[in-house]
Structures are given as C-alpha cells and as structure tokens.
Chain A
Amino acid sequence: MRKRLAGLLLVVVLLLVTVALSIAVGSRFIPLGDVLDALGGSGDPDDVLTVREMRIPRTVLGIVAGAALGLSGALMQSLTRNPLADPGIFGINLGAAAGVVLAITIFGITAPAGYVWFAFLGSVLAMLVVYGASAGRAGTNPARLALAGIAVQFALAGVVQALQLSDRGALDQMRFWVVGSLANRETDTLWSLAPFFVGGILLSLVLARSLNALALGDDTARALGAGVGTTRVLVLVAVTVLCGAATAACGPLAFVGLMVPHIVRSFTGPDQRWVLPFSMLLAPVVLLGADVLGRVLARPSELQVGIVMDVIGGIVFIAIVRARRVVHL
C-alpha cells in the first residue's frame, strides 16, 4: 500500500513536470520568463500565440488522448490475458483510420464529430477480426495476436492507400491526420470528442472490479457474481470508444497502450483498481514526453509523436518478447 501511494505521488509529479515541459519547450525556443508572461497574456504577441493557441491545446490533447490510450491498453491486456495487447497491435487504430478515410472519400464527411462514428465502426470490426483469430480458451495467444494484428494492418493499410490514391482531395485532407500527431489539431475537435473521452474513462474505471473477478477465471467470476459476458462486452465498448476518439483526434498512435500497463503493473501488482487509474495518469506522461522529445530532437522543425512512439515502442516490444517466454503465457 505504501509502495502504491509513493508511486501515485511520483506519477502525479511526473505528469506535472511533463505538462510544464510541454508548455515551456518547443521547436521554437522561448525563454522561460517569456513563457510565463505569455501564459498571463502579456509579452510578445507571437509568444502569446504560440503558448496559448498552440502549446496549451496540444498539451491538453496529449493528456486526454494519452489517458484514453493507456486505459484501453490496460483494459485489453486484462481482458485478453495477453501481454502484447495494444490498440495498435490489435489493428484498432488502422481500423479507425480506414473508417475515417472511407467517410472522407466516399461520403464526403469532413468534420471530426461526423467521422468519429466511422472510426468507431472501423475499430470495432478490426478488433473483432483480430480477437476472433487469436482467442482460445485461456485468453489469447500472444504470437497469434501479433500475427493477426499485423495481417489486419497490412490489409487495412492497403485499403487506406488505395482510397487515398483514388481521391486526391482526400489525400490532401488525410496527409496530416494519418501520421499520428498532436500538433495543429483544432480546439473544436477536442470539444466535439470530449463526451466520448469522459464516457469511456468513467466506464473503464467502473469495470475495474469486474475485471479483477474475471482474472480468476470464468467460473470463479460467476460465483463472485460478476456477469462474465456483460463485462467482456462492456470492456470492448470502452476500448472502442476510447481508441476511436483518440484516433479520430490524433491519428493512429501505437504502443502507448502496450508499454504503460507493463510499467504500472511492476509496482502496483495485478489489481485492476490500481492498474487502470495509474495507467490513465502515466500514459499522458509517456505521450507528452515523446511529443516534447520530437520537438527538441528535430529542431528547427519537429518529429511527429507517432514516429517517436513507433521507435520507442518497437524497442520495448522486442524487449517484452525477449524477456518472457511469451508463447507459453
């Protein structure tokens, strides 16, 4: 208990530090004093614009999307009893991407509040295919999960590219979205997606107790009074809403949901009542940290957070695969 409370304090401090860094540090250098002035609204108008109109919305988006992705990663790993479960590996992100591209090219829908429904639909379909192909009696097999995920990603990436190539206007609209980035997203997007984020987060936190019961096996869970089928469906709903909204807002971001729950479990243990809230707080630290890193590394331009996450995440993925006898889990 003391370890968990200390961990909680640490994570909160880390979150505050990354938020401060995300506001203070950028590809355009602004001295710290000027940043503080700009926050208050005084000082150089350029700095005020950069800090208040660009860095703050970007940071808020990072917090919300990070929380959503971290939570969904934890939910999926718990539900599938699979250490490799992640929205990216599950093909959910590309499913959402395919849905969005379809909405733009075929139906001409350009507002995020409109195409988010297509993102949901695409992510549900991708998730069901991958889950179906990898599930067995005792959860999902990690290797089959990764394979099915890769296969679905190849197929969907082909569809997305084909649609983009067939419609130049759509390509232009999609270009900035498809990389996976927190930059230059409109504030309206965030507001129109806010209900989904809030709903998904609340639903996930409510599910913690049932997931704990489910971890003991289906029969024990039933004996403890948890609805096994209902819990599974609700988890899938929460994951879809969270990932779909995060993807609609930032484009496809992989691996946040993979690594955060691993770090969290190392000091909270398997209790979902701790794992879920911790993942929700730590994931924004990772996502914002990667975003700040991308801004600093490639000065004077910047590296999209999707690219930074893929490099870090790929290495972590290999480490997890090598560290455990994944196949026998």
Chain B
Amino acid sequence: MTTTSSSARVGNAFRTVPPRSFLITLGMAVALLVAAGFTLTTGDFAVPVGDVVTAVVGQAPPAAEFVVNTLRLPRLLVAILAGAGLGVAGAVMQSLSRNPLGSPDMIGFSMGAATGGIAAILLTASGTVGTSIGAVVGGFVTALVILLLVGRHGLNGYRLVLVGVGISTVLMAVNGYLLTRAILGDAQRAIAWQVGNLSGRNWEHVTLLAIAVAVLVPLVLAFNRRMSMLELGDDTATALGVGVLATRLVPLLASIGLVAAAISMAGPIPFVALAGPHLARRLTRHPGPNVLPAAMMGALLTVASDFAAQHALPVQLPVGIVTSVIGGVYLVALLIVQRRSRRA
C-alpha cells in the first residue's frame, strides 16, 4: 500500500506537500512579515507603519522615504535573501551527506569563502564583485580539498566534520596572517566583512543576491523530491528511477553558489545554514531536505538576529556576532540533549 501511495505522490508534485509542512511554512512567513515590520519601523528615527507602506509604494514624507528605502529596506532584503540562501544550502548539504552536521559552516566551506573574500579585499583591493569572485573561488577550492581528504566513504560520518574543523583552523590562521599584513583601512574593511555584517547594504547588494536566489533556489526545488528519495539510499533511489549522480551534483553546486553569494554580500554569518534546516525539520517532522521551510527559517533567523544586533545592546553589533553566540549555545544544547536521550 505504501508503494502505491508514494508513487501516486511522485505523480503529483503538489500533493507531496503535507499539510503540516504547509502550515509551518505559512506560520514562518507570517513571523517573517512581523519581524520585517519591526525592522522597518524601529530605530533612531521611528517610522509609523502607514508611512512604511507608502514609502515602499513611493509617496511618503521625504525623511521617512529616505530612512525606509535607502537605509532599512535594502538591509532587510539582504538579510532575508542571504538567510534564505544559507538555509537552502544547509538543507541540501545536510540531506546529501545524510549528516545533520554537514552544513557549510561545519565543513569549512564558509571559512574558505571568507578566506577568498578577504584575500580579494586585501590583495586586489577590489569591490563587491571582486569579493564575490574571491569568495566563490575560495569556497570551491576548500570544498574540493575537504572532499579529497575525507574520501568517498567519509561523507556521512563524523570524519567530514572533524576534517572541516581542522581545515577551518588552518584557514582562520591564514585570515589572521592576511589581516596582519594589510594596511589599516583595508584590514578594517575585511574585519567588518569577516564577522558577517549587514550594515550599509545598498540596492546593488540586493540585486546581485536576488538574481542568485531567483536562479538557484528553483533549481534546488526541482530536485527536492529526488533528494528525499536519495536519503533512502543510493540503491533504492536508483530503483525508483532517480539519477543518483545528477541528484548529488546539481543541488550541491547550486547550494555552493548560494553560500558564496550570501557570504560575498553579507559576510560569513555563522550557524544559519546549520540551525535553519535543523529547526525547520524539527517543526515539520517531515523527512527529506525540506527546502522551502529551511529557506523560511534561515531568513527568519537572520532577520531576527540582525534586529537583535541593532537594538538589543547599547552598541550596534554585526549580525554575525549575534548568530555566533546563539548558534554556539544552540549546538552545545543540542549535544547535551542528544547525550541525555541516548542514555535513556
């Protein structure tokens, strides 16, 4: 009976969305809207909700329009897009490696992209585009090195994570070295970028990120169903008519692109790609990569963290510091809970 119902699901893509996942995703979308509302209205210059709406449409008082359209809206959109991209990438990598820790932060990919970006900033004194190219190259090279070191059968074990930790350490030292060799202005720019920072984002950042997300996320979504089948094992997936190699390669390349795009526009914001898909899967209780819920959760985490970074303390902090603290505590809590449940 189960085979007939699952093959019926294969036939109709829309019926594969279970009601619980749908409701959870909808709930997160509402939460995201509320968080966006807070972000756009709150600050040194408070803007009432009505003015925010008219500012976006185009006929608000000039001051409100400047604050919303030039300062707060691009920052918010970069947070949403980068968070969603990181969430999707984390979901894909965790699903393909069959490893809940196989996110880009843990396997050293983010650190490699950071090294590439810093090298581009410091060595070629390049702008946004140069930084992006540096981040993409750095990320790809690191991913390749890690895959070579881990070997074919190490993907779904702890070895992947441990090698990633080792590589991250080496790269962190390289970043530190690059920073000590740079002139002060460049170094400050690189440091601000390195911690994951959303201040001063403009529409150029939004456009570049939006293009990357608009191209790559649908590509990943198209493979959503096939990735869920791959989680059942390569043989089962092949028997169900799934091309194993393409199902690995295409989403993986797309998610590497998403991470690189997010990192080059917002800096390496830690833990969003790890925790986003994790939390989304816990909420939907649905197997498979859960691409859309993960995207929504990633965006929500990033927007909420950026709001906290701006308003929780007397000083404004980069968003990366907030996600770093929250994510670290989350991971420790996760390990302790896991240990308890395994003992019982």
Give the interface of A toward B (CB within 8 A).
84, 129, 132-134, 136, 142-144, 146-148, 150-159, 161-162, 165-166, 179, 254-255, 303-304, 306-308, 310-311, 313-315, 317-318, 321-322, 326-327
**Candidates A144, A154, A306; contact of B271 at CB < 8 Å:** A154
Q: A155-B329, A155-B332, A310-B173 are in contact. Are A162 and B166 (CB under 8 A)?
A: no
Q: Is the CB of B172 within 8 A of A310?
A: yes
CA distance A306 to B317 in the complex (A): 26
Complex contact B325–A159 (CB within 8 A) = yes
- A321 in contact with B162 given A147-B335, A314-B169 (CB within 8 Å): yes
Which listed residue (A129, A136, A142, A159) contacts B332, Cβ 8 A?
A129
Residue B149 is within 8 A (CB to CB) of chain A in the complex: yes
Contact A307/B328 with A133-B335, A150-B165, A318-B166 known, Cβ cut-off 8 Å: no
Residues of A within 8 A of B335 (CB): 133-134, 144, 147-148, 151
A313 touching B169 in the complex, CB below 8 Å, given contacts A318-B163, A327-B157: yes
Stretch at the interface among B21-29, B174-182, B233-241, B286-294: B174-182
Residue pairs across A and B with CB atoms within 8 Å: the count is 130
Asked if A155 and B162 sit within 8 Å, CB to CB, the answer is no
How many residues of B are counted as interface, with CB atoms below 8 angstroms from the partner's CB atoms? 43
Report the bound CA distance from A322 to B163 in whole Å.
Answer: 8
B209 within 8 A of A: no
State in angstroms the CA–CA spacing of A315 and B166 once bound together.
7
Closest to B270 in A: A154
Residues of B within 8 A of A326 (CB): 158-159, 162
Interface of A is mostly: helix
Q: Give chain A residues whose Cβ lies under 8 Å from the Cβ of B321.
A: 158, 161-162, 165
Q: A residues within 8 A CB of B313?
A: 162, 166
A159: B residues at CB distance < 8 A: 325
A151 touches B331 (CB 8 A): yes
Majority secondary structure, B binding face: helix
A259 CB, nearest partner CB in chain B, Å: 12
Measured between beta carbons, the chain A residues less than 8 angstroms from B173 are 306-308, 310-311, 314
CB-CB nearest in chain A for B338:
A144
Q: Which residues of B contact A158 (CB under 8 A)?
A: 320-322, 324-325, 328
Q: Given the complex of chains A and B, what is the CA–CA distance between A313 and B167 in angstroms?
A: 10
Q: In the complex, A43 Cα to B264 Cα: how many Å?
A: 55
Besides A310-B170, A318-B166, 5 other CB < 8 A contacts?
Answer: A158-B325, A161-B324, A310-B176, A318-B163, A327-B158
CB-based nearest B residue for A150 = B165
Q: What distance in Å separates the Cβ of A126 from its nearest Cβ neighbour in chain B?
A: 11
A-B contacts, 13 of them at CB < 8 A, read A133-B332, A147-B331, A151-B331, A153-B328, A154-B331, A155-B324, A158-B322, A255-B169, A310-B172, A317-B169, A321-B159, A321-B166, A326-B162
Given contacts A156-B328, A311-B173, contact A317 B322 (CB under 8 A): no
B245 near A: Cβ within 8 Å?
A: no
> How many angstroms from the CA of A146 to the CA of B167 in the assembled complex?
13
Residue on A nearest B158 in the bound complex, by CB: A143
B161 touches A315 (CB 8 A): no
